[in-house]
Structure 1
Amino acid sequence: MEKIIFQSDDGTTAEFYVEEQTNIAGVTYLLVSDSQDEEADAYILKDISAPGSTEACYEMVEDEDELQAVYAVFQQMLDDVNFEWRSDF
């Protein structure tokens, strides 16, 4: 499983494991987890990189409608994974 490191605007870093990737209407989304444990927390990140940029720029999806729509796609892609929906991030 690919492990990626994200750096926030304030310089802090966080490590995530890429569980899956999808493209919806030309927008790339990543399903990432904070560990490889069964009880890991998962997040959906949206690629907001500028066209032609050499570095990827992602942000957490916060819009509830967008989050639920992308969540449904990932749930179908990973039908053998048990997801528990929480919106208290």
Structure 2
Amino acid sequence: MSDNNEKIVFTTEDGEAFEFFVLEETKINGKNYLLVADEIEGEEANALILADVSEEESEEAVYEVVEDEEQLAALSKVFTELMEDLDIEING
């Protein structure tokens, strides 16, 4: 990812909007994943790993939070390797 971290807005099914910074992205087995956080700096930032669940022909991307603990642990390792200075703590 570039140093100017892209900021994106996610909208829930209820219409509630949340802004996140994209820290890193990767593609594994043909599926896109994003590591996002509500803050770029600070130890209290909340981070999420999101999986792209969009239909191929969809114009808008649809992401879901990765909640499966095994998948989350594996993806955390991948993102940690991609971002050497990142320390991801999994709460679950």
**Long gaps (5+) in structure 2:** none
Task: Give 2:19's aligned residue.
Answer: 15
RMSD, matched Cα: 1.0
Q: Distance in 2 between matches of 1:15 and 1:33?
A: 9
Task: Give 2:55's aligned residue.
Answer: 50
TM-score (norm 1): 0.92
- What secondary structure sits across from 1:83 in the alignment? coil
TM-score (norm 2): 0.89
Q: Deviations over 1:7-41 (max 9, x none)?
A: 00011010000000000100100000011222211
Q: Deviations over 1:21-63 (max 9, x none)?
A: 0001001000000112222111100000011111000010011
Q: Distance in 1 between matches of 2:28 and 2:88?
A: 20
Where do 4+ consecutive residues of structure 1 move more than 4 Å? none
Q: What is the identity, as a one-letter code, of the residue corresponding to 2:66?
A: V
Aligned length: 87
